[in-house]
Structure 1
Amino acid sequence: MIKFILVLLLLFAALLLGHNLIGYEGRVVIATESTVIELTLISSLIIAFIVIILFWLLEWSVKKIIRSLSGSKNWLGALSSRQQNKAFYTALNAYLIGDTEAAKNNIEKSFGGDYNGTNYLLASELHKDKPEKALRLLSYCDEDKPALYLTIKRAQLLLNTSPKAALQTLDALPNKAQQTPIVVNAKLAALAKQDRWLEIKDLITQHKKNLGDTYIEWAQRATHGEFAEIASKSGANALKEKWANLSRAAKKDLANQLCYIQLLMDQNLHQEAETVLIDCAKKHTHAAFLGLFKQLQHANPAASIKFIEQKIKSQADAPEYYSVLAHLAFNSKDYALAQRAINKALELRQNNEDVLLLAAILEQQACYDQANVLYKKLLTHSSLSVDSRH
């Protein structure tokens, strides 16, 4: 574009000043040992202009030849660029509607085109099930292209095969990029693959605001990993000792509470888990606690039933509490209470988990025909859901 503007300026100058030079008697003399060439000023300017144009044409031709020999598909000029653009946008549209085969076939036709590496990024995503090929596709992108997204994609591809290399790749990004949620999550995933839970805790503390809703998830995973390692190596007593030695702030952390209770139940310490669970649930109203109540397995969960019944009194139209009560009763083999509670839950809200529990209750009461009807209903609903997704 700059060269084109310069040519226009030269033409404009020639038109503006050329008529003043027509009668000018100036001469340009080129003398060598055996030859003397004498030109008028006008003819010398015309020759110089033609030489410049020829030089540009030669430069353009050489570049096209080099690119064609190096494998670029731009050697046909504008026609090839149009074909590449068409292939690139066809691949992008096919990918967005889920036609991966068409996307794969078209994206390869864009290779060599100038898309700032986006075509290679899309190609690597389309072949992410083959990490080696996906990484090779990323390497085809010119080094002078924007590196941020390509580097992130390269790290994501390395997560399963070499999490240490993925982490090193992410650490090499500029500091500003390392503050973004996608990079933080990728670094956390790389650390998790290496069971580096303490480092994960430090990282999520630094980026709590950036992580948003995923903070609780990562905090739970970190705590669960740390606590599970203690439980597996040293047993339940070491786990309880670890909890007892935590700071007051750490014990108030929701992720720590959820993981500790879950691990107590995993160690078959359901009564101790119940005590901690009720105490925590009194201070927090989080749906995850209800899921833990449903897992309690001991003969007399009277304290939990009393706690849930108090919740029902204050929120009589909340189906989730009736569902929890039904699970508690079923796990303690009080099938009559379980059936009353689950019927009420289903009256307020249809839920597959609750229907499955009702079928299990009926089966325990030897009402096999009714239970089979519910199982068939669940299977039909499940198949319909799968068909609708396809």
Structure 2
Amino acid sequence: MKWLAIALAVLAAFVAALIIGPMLLGDQGYVLFTLGDTAVEMNIISFGILLIGALVAWYVLSRATLWALSLITGSHKWFGSLGDRKRKRAFYDGLHAMAAGDLDTAQKALGKTTNGDFEGVNYLASAQIAFTNGDLPKARYFLTQATDFPTAKVAATVMHARIDLVDNKHAEALEKLDALDEQERDSKPVVQLKAQTLAELGKWQTLEENLSGWRKALPKDAYTTWSKRIAKGKFAEIASKQGAVELKSYWENLPRKLRNDDAYRAAYVQQLLDQGMHADAQQLLVGWQKRGPNTALFPLFSQLNIPDSSPSLRLLESWIKQDEENVALYSTLGQVAFNSGDDVLAEKALLKATKMKARKEDLLLLSAISERNQDTATALQLYKEGQQAIG
């Protein structure tokens, strides 16, 4: 309405000038129109009023003509801004209901926003509701609609790919992510989901080749986690297809940098344990931790299950002498001793550990020792305590 006020002010000033001007000059002047034998004469003031009336009439007629044309073509909005306000209200009501967990109300409200301009957010929200309700086809439909909006394209593609993963359509998920533009493919959500998708497909080599370039887009500790998964996946694939001998050969031919990487070492030892090669695993665990416990390798000691675990036991006992209040060391010593059949050492270490902190795994292992020694009453008591303890 601002423009209309300005136009009226200008017209008012023009009329005032037409009236006051001639009065100040003392001469109203006149305008003469002739058409054939007909002549029309009027003073300046009358002519000004006639001119203004003609302009107003022209404006009204033009607006009426445009309104009639829009009515005929179907582009006229009967309720104008009222309809926009209703759609916006429905949009916000839908988001509020969605946040509150009232998905039925949310879906109904968002269903009234399809003709509004919400940059695809309404379709993303509707897709999320459909996905939560387990209606994957409807979720896919809404996401397809959302991809038509440039600002919602990446989010819609990521959501669609996640649905594909849930639906065990890993190849389709990867295809959708690869179809994005180069800049879009470098965004954090896309990189993180693509890494997951490649892992699900077992494409460890491709994942390894891209991991360094994705480092900035991954969460803080994700690079190390993915390095471990890649190593574990590759080693498991080689062992399952070619056997333990080829696995060892592959390890020996890896670059020194990878063979010195804790993530790769832990994955390799884990695969040796999975293949039943506990003696080889023990040799590496002891050799790689001469300077002290390694956070990636130390937990693997508890999986050793061989009669002669003396190298591991000696190493663990030497660490205990340097750190006598470390519960994890006593617990691991007890586990290794138990697996090797040395119940006396195992019980001694585990009792020491439980005095420091009563943990579920230690109490259950003590129960197993008592049961193996046919002390049923003690075994039952320790078992009950273990079930009540915190792991």
TM-score by length of 1: 0.80
> What are the superposed Cα offsets for residues 51-110 of structure 1, whole Å, 9 maximum, x if unpaired?
565577679874576999xxxxx985534532432222221x22xxxx4xx235413421
How many angstroms apart in 2 are the aligned matches of 1:66 and 1:335? 87
> Judging changes above 3 Å, is the alpha-carbon distance between structure 1 residues 125 and 333 closer, same or farther for their aligned structure 2 residues?
farther
Shift, 1:261, TM fit: 0.5
The aligned runs of 1:142-161 (5 Å cut-off) are 143-146=148-151, 147-159=153-165, 160-161=167-168
* Helix, strand or coil at the partner of 1:281: coil
The aligned runs of 1:187-266 (5 Å cut-off) are 187-211=194-218, 212-266=220-274
Shift, 1:376, TM fit: 3.5
The aligned runs of 1:119-198 (5 Å cut-off) are 119-128=122-131, 129-141=134-146, 143-146=148-151, 147-159=153-165, 160-198=167-205
Q: Can you give the 5+ residue segments of structure 1 that lack an aligned partner in the other structure?
A: 1-6, 32-37, 69-73, 386-390
Is structure 2 residue 47 aligned with structure 1 residue 47? no
> What are the superposed Cα offsets for residues 8-27 of structure 1, whole Å, 9 maximum, x if unpaired?
12322321442323647999
User: Is the 2:282–2:312 contact (alpha carbons within 8 Å) kept by the matching residues of 1?
Assistant: yes
How many angstroms apart in 2 are the aligned matches of 1:26 and 1:109? 66
* Helix, strand or coil at the partner of 1:140: helix
User: Is the 1:104–1:123 contact (alpha carbons within 8 Å) kept by the matching residues of 2?
Assistant: no
How many angstroms apart in 1 are the aligned matches of 2:110 and 2:297? 52
Shift, 1:266, TM fit: 1.2
Shift, 1:379, TM fit: 4.4
Is structure 2 residue 326 aligned with structure 1 residue 318? yes
Deviates more, 1:291-300 or 1:310-319: 310-319
> What are the superposed Cα offsets for residues 289-330 of structure 1, whole Å, 9 maximum, x if unpaired?
222100001001111111111221222221111111011011
* Partner residue of 1:15 out of 9, 24, 27: 9
Letter in 1 for 2:103: A
How many angstroms apart in 2 are the aligned matches of 1:343 and 1:213? 35
Letter in 2 for 1:165: E
Shift, 1:235, TM fit: 1.2
* Helix, strand or coil at the partner of 2:290: helix
> Judging changes above 3 Å, is the alpha-carbon distance between structure 1 residues 78 and 234 closer, same or farther for their aligned structure 2 residues?
closer
Shift, 1:210, TM fit: 3.4
User: Is the 1:300–1:332 contact (alpha carbons within 8 Å) kept by the matching residues of 2?
Assistant: yes
The aligned runs of 1:210-359 (5 Å cut-off) are 210-211=217-218, 212-282=220-290, 285-359=293-367
Matching residue of 1:115? 118
* Helix, strand or coil at the partner of 2:289: helix
User: Is the 1:330–1:338 contact (alpha carbons within 8 Å) kept by the matching residues of 2?
Assistant: yes
How many angstroms apart in 2 are the aligned matches of 1:26 and 1:201? 92
Q: Can you give the 5+ residue segments of structure 2 that lack an aligned partner in the other structure?
A: 20-28, 36-46
Matching residue of 2:41? none
How many angstroms apart in 1 are the aligned matches of 2:229 and 2:251? 16
State the superposition RMSD in angstroms: 3.4
User: Is the 1:65–1:75 contact (alpha carbons within 8 Å) kept by the matching residues of 2?
Assistant: no
> Judging changes above 3 Å, is the alpha-carbon distance between structure 1 residues 322 and 119 closer, same or farther for their aligned structure 2 residues?
farther
How many angstroms apart in 2 are the aligned matches of 1:109 and 1:153? 21
User: Is the 1:312–1:318 contact (alpha carbons within 8 Å) kept by the matching residues of 2?
Assistant: yes
Point out the structure with max Rg over C-alpha: 2
* Helix, strand or coil at the partner of 2:146: coil
> Judging changes above 3 Å, is the alpha-carbon distance between structure 1 residues 80 and 249 closer, same or farther for their aligned structure 2 residues?
closer
User: Is the 2:97–2:105 contact (alpha carbons within 8 Å) kept by the matching residues of 1?
Assistant: no
Matching residue of 2:88? 81
What's the % identity of the aligned pairs?
28
How many angstroms apart in 2 are the aligned matches of 1:325 and 1:55? 93
> Judging changes above 3 Å, is the alpha-carbon distance between structure 1 residues 56 and 217 closer, same or farther for their aligned structure 2 residues?
farther
Shift, 1:288, TM fit: 3.3
Letter in 2 for 1:125: Q
Shift, 1:331, TM fit: 0.4
How many angstroms apart in 2 are the aligned matches of 1:346 and 1:123? 53
Is structure 2 residue 103 aligned with structure 1 residue 103? yes
How many angstroms apart in 1 are the aligned matches of 2:175 and 2:65? 47
Shift, 1:171, TM fit: 2.3
> Judging changes above 3 Å, is the alpha-carbon distance between structure 1 residues 125 and 87 closer, same or farther for their aligned structure 2 residues?
closer
> Judging changes above 3 Å, is the alpha-carbon distance between structure 1 residues 375 and 151 closer, same or farther for their aligned structure 2 residues?
same
> Judging changes above 3 Å, is the alpha-carbon distance between structure 1 residues 363 and 271 closer, same or farther for their aligned structure 2 residues?
same
> Judging changes above 3 Å, is the alpha-carbon distance between structure 1 residues 339 and 60 closer, same or farther for their aligned structure 2 residues?
farther
> Judging changes above 3 Å, is the alpha-carbon distance between structure 1 residues 67 and 43 closer, same or farther for their aligned structure 2 residues?
closer
User: Is the 2:319–2:329 contact (alpha carbons within 8 Å) kept by the matching residues of 1?
Assistant: yes
> Judging changes above 3 Å, is the alpha-carbon distance between structure 1 residues 83 and 119 closer, same or farther for their aligned structure 2 residues?
closer
TM-score by length of 2: 0.80
User: Is the 1:298–1:331 contact (alpha carbons within 8 Å) kept by the matching residues of 2?
Assistant: yes
